[in-house]
Amino acid sequence: MKESLKNYFNKYINLSDEEIEIIYQNTDVTKLNKKEFLLKEGKICESKYFLIEGLVRFFEIDNNGNENINQFGIENWWITDLDSFINETPSRQSVQALEKTIVLQISKSNLEKLYISIPKLERAFRIITENMLIAIQRKDEVYMKKTSKDRYYNLVEKIPDFTQRVPQYMIASYLNITPEYLSEIRKKSN
């Protein structure tokens, strides 16, 4: 786990083994089984989560009782409900494991302490947050400019094994299309 963390952070900043050890000591390991929740709607997101292994989905339930998937998280990604985490407000989303998942979590108070003891860590999280915002912006552009079919192909291209790990109806929800239409797209691509 430490090696995964080190490899991830070293894409942005150089951390010594001692600094990685300090970071690791300020995290908790959480293991989730398939369908277990990391965060439930209405609860405050008190940590940032680094996925060591597994897959999660961010979703909300609309007024009609439908699940709307907004995001997925896979290995070596940081995930959090940023609004809930920063503003300490109840989350409007839930985060659920789609397979056995292992995450390292850093609480807000531990993260603030780490920023003081390892100042360059704050820079790393700024870059990570900027990259996350760019990804959201690109996703929005893709949704506005591309057809449903092109959005599906874009997803398959960016994360090739993803469609094998996620049920078709969840991919359809994420792409904002019906499962039947997604099935047609997949048939035509084979």
> Residue-wise pLDDT tens for the chain (190 aa)?
788 888 889 899 999 999 999 999 999 999 999 999 999 999 999 999 999 999 999 999 988 888 899 889 989 899 999 999 999 999 999 999 999 999 999 999 999 999 999 999 999 999 999 988 888 887 777 677 778 788 888 788 877 787 888 988 898 888 888 888 888 888 877 6
- Lay out the sheet containing 47-53: strands in order across: 28-32, 101-107, 47-53, 78-79
Nearest one of 2, 13, 28 to 124, comparing CA atoms: 13
Task: Report in angstroms the alpha-carbon separations of 17 from 4, 6, 14, 24.
Answer: 12, 8, 10, 10
9 touches 124 (CB < 8 A):
yes
All domains in the chain, ordered by first residue: 2-118 (2.60.120.10)
